[in-house]
């Protein structure tokens, strides 16, 4: 059996891979492990009453899994503060500000509706390190024993937090340095957790807002909309004559943007815009940006020209977060649109990112396309190759030799990256090259080899 926790929590097909029984067990084990690490003891007499914040995105299976998570937490003796449908960063923020020992977000982010997931936050709203996730996984079997469960007054209580959204919106406004009057933004909420929060946040900051895909019905989350489907947003931005468009994913922990002309502004470009803004204000700690191995070489070149160093991590915002905390840096993120501003958030926050991006537009008076143009992206091709065994690809000498040969042929004018997905049975083949045709040719050859690997 493989590791239960992937790059972003537990994720799988709801009610098949991710069952209510598993959700209950994970929640109960997490409550016990995190409280013990904090120096407390969950006991049957209620002597220690840990607190957990639980939120979800609007997909239908979230209702079922929320009930299971709340049951698991209360059965372990934890009091639950249920915050309902909110973005993932809101749950992280409330975990910190409500003084909770644990935060639980039920969401599969950008994955299609049939999937769901569980993301865990420790006290302070920080994502869990691998070692702590492994400890929780190791405890899954033992927490269900009747003689270890609290009874009577030791059982946790479940209560709602009616002002949870307002608390989060107030936090976002404090973190937005300038009012956004004069900015017209089209926001695609992916029929997800941003559907209520994002339009309100941008309007309260002063922007004029046109809203797309903000009518979740439990089944339509990410369905042809959001940050993985930018075509509709680009069309709407041009039709409405808006200044920009913002696209969120299902749980709103990331965003991508569209300029006024309909061109896409990816996470690398957003990072560059925000890095230059912080650099100009003397707020970019260590004059350093943290990015992942997936970031385009164009970002590295732009930062080098501006005198900004780039620290590189493995893919996954958790690894960006670890590097940010280790070096006390002030900005990091991914090409996919996860952006972290540690002075204001403990995890990626798509709404905060969008607000800061629009604030940069208002302070400079420059259109988004001009600001993003500092990054001259090398053509990049990314192929998701279904495989029978991701580990076998990683140990294949034939694949390794082919990658080395292709990189040698690019002669420093491009690069190749093979990476197993943390949530799917695929290997991602990424190639950057001077031309798109070259990148596609190289990626195609390598994808063919990867697909043929057998265990």
Which residues are known binding-site members for Mg(2+)? 109, 249, 251, 253
Q: With the C-alpha atoms ordered 115, 121, 127, 131, is the resulting torsion angle positive or negative?
A: negative
Catalytic status, residue 109: yes
What is the Cα–Cα distance from 41 to 52, expressed in whole angstroms? 15
Q: 328: burial class by Cβ within 10 Å (0-12, 13-18, 19+)? A: exposed
Distances (CA, A) of 126 to 119, 140, 203, 318, 342: 11, 22, 28, 9, 10
What is the Cα–Cα distance from 425 to 292, expressed in whole angstroms? 21
Catalytic residue from among 28, 109, 295, 336: 109
Nearest to 61 by CA among 13, 22, 21, 109: 13
Write the secondary structure of the chain as one string of H (helix), E (strand) and C (coil). CCCCCECCEEEEEECCCECHHHHHHHHHHHHHHHHHHCCCCCCCCCCCCCEEEEEECCCCHHHHHHHHHHHHHHHCCCEEEEEEECCHHHHHHHHHHCCCCEEEEECCCCCCCCEEEEEEEECCCCECCHHHHHHHHHCCCCCCCHHHCCCHHHCCCEEECCCHHHHHHHHHHHCCCCCCCCCEEEEECCCCCHHHHHHHHHHHCCCEEEEECCCCCCCCCCCCCCCCCCHHHHHHHHHHCCCEEEEECCCCCCEEEEECCCCEECHHHHHHHHHHHHHHCCCCHHHEEEEECCCCHHHHHHHHHCCCEEEEECCCHHHHHHHHHHHCCCCEECCCCCEECCCCCCCCCHHHHHHHHHHHHHHHCCCHHHHHCCCCCCCEEEEEEECCCHHHHHCCHHHHHHHHHHHHHHCCCCEEEEEECCCCCEEEEEEECCCHHHHHHHHHHHHHHHHHCCC
Question: Where is the binding site, in residues?
Answer: 109, 249, 251, 253
Nearest to 341 by CA among 130, 86, 92: 92
Provide the annotated active-site residues: 109
């Amino acid at each position: 059996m493989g590791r239960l926790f992937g790059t972003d929590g537990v994720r799988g097909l709801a009610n098949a891979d991710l069952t209510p029984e598993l959700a209950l067990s994970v929640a109960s084990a997490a409550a016990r492990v995190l409280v013990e690490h904090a120096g407390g003891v969950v006991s049957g007499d209620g002597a220690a009453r840990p607190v957990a914040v639980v939120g979800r995105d609007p997909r239908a299976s979230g209702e079922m899994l929320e009930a299971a998570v709340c049951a698991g937490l209360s059965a372990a003796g934890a009091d639950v503060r249920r915050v309902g449908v909110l973005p993932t960063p809101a749950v992280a923020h409330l975990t910190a500000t409500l003084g909770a020992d644990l935060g639980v977000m039920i969401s599969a982010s950008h994955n299609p509706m049939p999937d769901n997931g569980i993301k865990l936050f420790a006290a302070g709203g920080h994502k869990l390190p691998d070692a702590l996730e492994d400890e929780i996984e190791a405890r899954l079997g033992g927490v269900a024993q009747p003689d270890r469960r609290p009874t009577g007054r030791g059982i946790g209580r479940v209560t709602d937090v009616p002002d949870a959204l307002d608390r989060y919106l107030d936090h976002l406004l404090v973190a937005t340095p300038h009012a956004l009057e004069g900015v017209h933004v089209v926001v695609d909420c992916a029929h997800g957790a941003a559907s209520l929060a994002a339009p309100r946040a941008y309007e309260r900051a002063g922007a004029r807002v046109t809203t797309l895909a903000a009518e979740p019905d439990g089944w339509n989350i990410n369905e042809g909309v959001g940050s993985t489907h930018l075509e509709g947003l680009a069309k709407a931005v041009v039709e409405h004559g808006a200044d920009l468009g913002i696209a969120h994913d299902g749980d709103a922990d990331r965003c991508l943007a569209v300029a006024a002309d309909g061109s896409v502004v990816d996470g690398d470009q957003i990072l560059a815009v925000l890095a230059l803004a912080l650099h100009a204000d003397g707020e970019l700690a260590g004059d350093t940006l943290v990015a992942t191995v997936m970031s385009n070489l164009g970002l590295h070149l732009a930062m080098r020209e501006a005198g900004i160093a780039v620290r590189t991590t493995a893919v996954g915002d958790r690894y960006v977060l670890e590097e940010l905390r280790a070096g006390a840096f002030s900005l990091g993120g991914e090409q996919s649109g996860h952006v972290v501003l540690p002075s204001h958030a403990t995890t990626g926050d798509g709404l905060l990112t969008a607000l800061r991006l629009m604030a940069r537009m208002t302070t400079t008076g420059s259109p988004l396309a001009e600001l993003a143009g500092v990054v001259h992206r090398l053509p990049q091709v990314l192929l998701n190759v279904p495989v029978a065994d991701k580990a076998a690809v990683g140990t294949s000498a034939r694949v390794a030799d082919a990658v080395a040969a292709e990189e040698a042929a690019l002669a420093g004018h491009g690069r190749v990256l093979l990476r197993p997905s943390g949530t799917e049975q695929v290997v991602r083949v990424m190639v950057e090259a001077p031309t798109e045709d070259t990148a596609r040719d190289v990626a195609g050859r390598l994808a063919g080899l990867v697909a043929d690997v057998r265990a």
